[in-house]
Amino acid sequence: MRGQSFPGTLDSLAPIRALVLQEAAAAGLEEQARYRLCLAVDEIVTNTIIHGYTEAGRTGTVELEVWQAKGSLIVELEDTGAPCNLMERQLPTPEELERPLEERPVGGLGLFLVMQSVDVFFHENLGLKNRTLLIMQGGRETIGGGET
């Protein structure tokens, strides 16, 4: 288990990705899966920083924990930003994704990429905290064990 607290500012995005990449590599995730997990974490954290903190006039931290369980790699993110119910966000529809670029709505792309990237996504608001779980399930390679 690896945990770290980051300032809730956009400067934290690159160090957070670096940490996730490191942990994913140590766990034996292959390259594409590492990228996808990083992307998903980045999108959630970006949403927290922009909507949960900056636009809401708040400041705070992003708490990140990474651990392995039963062949899966789990990233847990917590923040004390404004509640945002990610489970109810509208994702772009397939029709919207095919529209000419000038007619495209810009919202929802971040969460859409999260859904495309990880095996399991879970989000809840716990009163003063928002919590997100992102899980990459072990495939043919064994996360955390076995010889590579």
Where along the sequence are the contacts to another protein (CB under 8 A)? 10-11, 13-14, 17, 32, 35-36, 38-39, 42-43, 46, 49-50, 92, 96-102, 104, 106, 109-110, 112-113, 116
Residue closer to another protein (CB basis): 26 or 91: 91
- Helices first, then strands: H and E counts in the chain: 4, 5
Distance in Å, CB of 145 to another protein, minimum: 26
Q: How far apart are CA 122 and CA 5, in angstroms?
A: 20
Residue closer to another protein (CB basis): 67 or 89: 89
Q: How far apart are CA 125 and CA 95, in angstroms?
A: 31
Residue closer to another protein (CB basis): 36 or 123: 36
Distance in Å, CB of 123 to another protein, minimum: 16
Distance in Å, CB of 68 to another protein, minimum: 23
Number of alpha carbons in the 13 Å side-chain half-sphere of residue 82 = 12
Q: Which residues contact 82 (CB under 8 A, 6 or more apart)?
A: 51, 52, 53, 55, 56, 58
Residue closer to another protein (CB basis): 11 or 124: 11
Distance in Å, CB of 21 to another protein, minimum: 10
8-state DSSP, 146: S
